[in-house]
Structure 1
Amino acid sequence: MRQTVADAVRLNGRGLHSGRPVRVVIHPGTDGIAFRYNGTRIPATPDAVTSTDRSTTLGGIATVEHLMSAFAGLEITDAEVELSAPELPALDGSAAGFVTGLTSKHQLEPTDHPAPRELFLEDGDAWIRVTPGTGRWSYTFNAQTFTCSLPTDYVTQVAPARTIALTHEVAALQARGLGQGLDLGAVVLLDAETGGYGNEPRYPDEPARHKLLDLIGDLALSGVPARRLDVTAYRTGHRIGTRVAALLRPGRAPGGEGRGRASRG
């Protein structure tokens, strides 16, 4: 099934890392997901990935993973995302703000996808396994493992999980110009040594849930519906996630790349 938004959705905020004010208008579409900024249209595909440093960047559009995750969780397959600045807003550090605006949907003509194939990629102790399935997704981060059924559990169990900040890294990240659009209410602060929280989490396993939220957004670049995949992942980042998306994309020849090593990001 293909779906788009029923009407234009408008959101305002500050870029998650840049802190720049940004206005977002999500228009109904009929040609997949695409981002538009300054006269350029960038389709949301793995080929458009230009950076995976702390976020996923498509062309010149940064931090797309939370909105892409919301699209996947709500099974929105087509939309035109118009931006006034080249980074998606932080909102509350999760995908919940995007979900709230995207609940009104319009059905489009269905399109058949080839059946997804099995993949396993690893990078040191980080790895992702993907098999054709029924939407069972599981993510392990440190001692936390979170498992859910997609799209059923997305809105209540995944979308509200906020981005992670390690307490000892906050100053260094801000010195690099990252996280400027976030405040302490829009992150879950995690002590890397003790595993404890520096503020109140929304879930006992919020970091694992947010890492899964990010992975859903990265694998959405493949165009394969989340409900057609079973995914198990361990301590992955955006680079290995977007590489798996490239291998999953319909029409991509297997080429012997179904199992191997990937750089961590």
Structure 2
Amino acid sequence: MAHWKQRTVAKRVSCTGIGLHSGRPATLTLAPAAADAGITFVRMDLGIEIPARNELVVDTMLSTSVAVGKARVSTVEHVMAALHGMGIDNCRVEVDGPEIPILDGSAAPFVCLVHEAGVKELSAGRRYLVVDRAVELRDGDKVARLEPSDAFSVEFTADFGHPLITNQSFRVTLTDRSFEREIARARTFCFLRDIERMQAMGLARGGSLENAIVVDDFSILNPEGLRFPDEFARHKVLDAVGDLALLGMPVVGAFSATKSGHAMNQALVKKVLAEASSHRVVRVSAEADAPSIHARVPVAVPGGQIA
């Protein structure tokens, strides 16, 4: 079911874990925010707020990081996916260090936090980015594309040239129910052969079988196995939802990608925002306006860019 009014979390809720790449402990708190505030990361140790927006992305190597000046928050994509997937428009994501805790490597713990907090509906109508013209990026055999559609859907094809991850695809039309049931529990993954290289680069210091699927040349090393037969493709869908959330509002459009990653996802977001003719930003001002979103003739907000 679509939500036509903006939503935030109803109360403060917290969790504690370690950063996947930094290995540093971190406490994260979801806190209520006012209408039109959007999602904002707050470095509590520095007292600096970082809006969750594409123009503040500073790094896309193995995760997505945003920063204002020297204040950075890394690995934002899983909590962004959870908030976007659960229909949360406005939230303060408070963290006391440089990286979001990885928890179990999926978005499911953040979905649980949203349930624990409860959802508060605000009086303002939601804003949507409605895709009017296809925007595409290609880099060899990698493709990322956002095109017009009557709903927000995400399709991803993963192919790592590995016996367990070859031409694996998953597609979903996003609602809070489908996100929670089909996407949220899919975990991040890595190859055993890459772990030493990543750690030499100062990455994956907090990685373990508790928070990632680890794959060797032929098998899954996690004793419990996979949560879904196509968990790899589902997690890439999860990452894409989190990356597209940095458009700053829900999307009415279809995203499809093959072998894309955070860098290409964010490059596509940047290209969409730069091409004003590719989209409209619209606001549903009242429940009566809601059907017009699906009719693709919503009430227009002046200007094609995010306000």
TM-score (normalised: structure 1): 0.89
Partners of 1:209 and 1:203 in 2: how far apart? 8
Q: Which residue in the other structure is 1:135 paired with?
A: 152
Q: Which residue in the other structure is 1:54 paired with?
A: 62
Partners of 2:19 and 2:103 in 1: how far apart? 9
Of 38, 42, 46 in structure 1, the residue corresponding to residue 50 of structure 2 is 42
Partners of 2:240 and 2:153 in 1: how far apart? 13
Partners of 2:10 and 2:110 in 1: how far apart? 15
Say if 1:93 and 1:163, in contact at 8 Å, map to a contact too. yes
Of 220, 244, 266 in structure 2, the residue corresponding to residue 197 of structure 1 is 220
**Per-residue CA shift, 1:1-28, capped at 9, x if unaligned?**
3111011121111111101111111110
Q: What does residue range 170-181 of structure 1 map to in structure 2 within 5 Å?
A: 170-181=195-206
Per-residue deviation, 1:110: 0.8
Of 127, 139, 144 in structure 2, the residue corresponding to residue 123 of structure 1 is 139
Per-residue deviation, 1:114: 5.0
Q: Which residue in the other structure is 1:263 paired with?
A: none
Q: What does residue range 171-250 of structure 1 map to in structure 2 within 5 Å?
A: 171-191=196-216, 194=218, 196-199=219-222, 200-226=225-251, 228-249=252-273
Partners of 2:197 and 2:130 in 1: how far apart? 44
Structure 1 stretch displaced more, 170-179 or 78-87? 170-179
Q: Which residue in the other structure is 2:12 paired with?
A: 8
- Residue type of the partner of 1:241? N
- Residue type of the partner of 1:137? V
Partners of 1:28 and 1:214 in 2: how far apart? 24
Of 138, 157, 160 in structure 1, the residue corresponding to residue 185 of structure 2 is 160
Q: Which residue in the other structure is 2:110 paired with?
A: 98
- Residue type of the partner of 2:148? P
Per-residue deviation, 1:176: 2.2
* Structure 1 vs Structure 2 CA RMSD: 1.7
Of 32, 40, 44 in structure 1, the residue corresponding to residue 38 of structure 2 is 32
Per-residue deviation, 1:90: 0.7
Q: Which residue in the other structure is 2:126 paired with?
A: 111
Using a 3 Å threshold, how does the CA distance of structure 1 residues 179 and 161 change in structure 2: closer, same or farther?
Answer: same
Using a 3 Å threshold, how does the CA distance of structure 1 residues 33 and 112 change in structure 2: closer, same or farther?
Answer: closer
Say if 1:25 and 1:83, in contact at 8 Å, map to a contact too. yes
Secondary structure, aligned partner of 2:256: strand
Structure 1 stretch displaced more, 163-172 or 82-91? 163-172
Partners of 2:73 and 2:171 in 1: how far apart? 30
- Structure 1: state its 5+ residue gaps: 257-265
- Residue type of the partner of 1:197? I
**Per-residue CA shift, 1:22-75, capped at 9, x if unaligned?**
111111012011111111111100110011111111001111011011111101
Partners of 2:81 and 2:16 in 1: how far apart? 18
Per-residue deviation, 1:81: 1.1
Whether 1:169 and 2:194 are equivalent positions in the alignment is yes
Whether 1:70 and 2:82 are equivalent positions in the alignment is yes
Partners of 1:137 and 1:215 in 2: how far apart? 8
Using a 3 Å threshold, how does the CA distance of structure 1 residues 70 and 116 change in structure 2: closer, same or farther?
Answer: same
Secondary structure, aligned partner of 1:101: helix
Q: Which residue in the other structure is 1:261 paired with?
A: none
Alignment: residue pair count: 251
**Per-residue CA shift, 1:221-251, capped at 9, x if unaligned?**
002414x2211111111111112222334xx
- Residue type of the partner of 2:253? L
Query: Which protein is bigger by CA-based radius of gyration?
Result: 2
Partners of 2:257 and 2:129 in 1: how far apart? 23
Q: Which residue in the other structure is 1:89 paired with?
A: 101
Say if 2:107 and 2:185, in contact at 8 Å, map to a contact too. yes
Partners of 2:198 and 2:109 in 1: how far apart? 24
Partners of 2:258 and 2:104 in 1: how far apart? 25
Say if 2:127 and 2:250, in contact at 8 Å, map to a contact too. no
Deviation beyond 3 Å, 4+ runs, structure 1: 111-114, 252-256
Per-residue deviation, 1:253: 4.0
Say if 1:67 and 1:217, in contact at 8 Å, map to a contact too. yes
Secondary structure, aligned partner of 1:185: coil
Give the percent of matched residue pairs that are identical in Structure 1 and Structure 2. 35
Using a 3 Å threshold, how does the CA distance of structure 1 residues 224 and 119 change in structure 2: closer, same or farther?
Answer: farther
Partners of 2:183 and 2:157 in 1: how far apart? 14
Whether 1:148 and 2:172 are equivalent positions in the alignment is yes
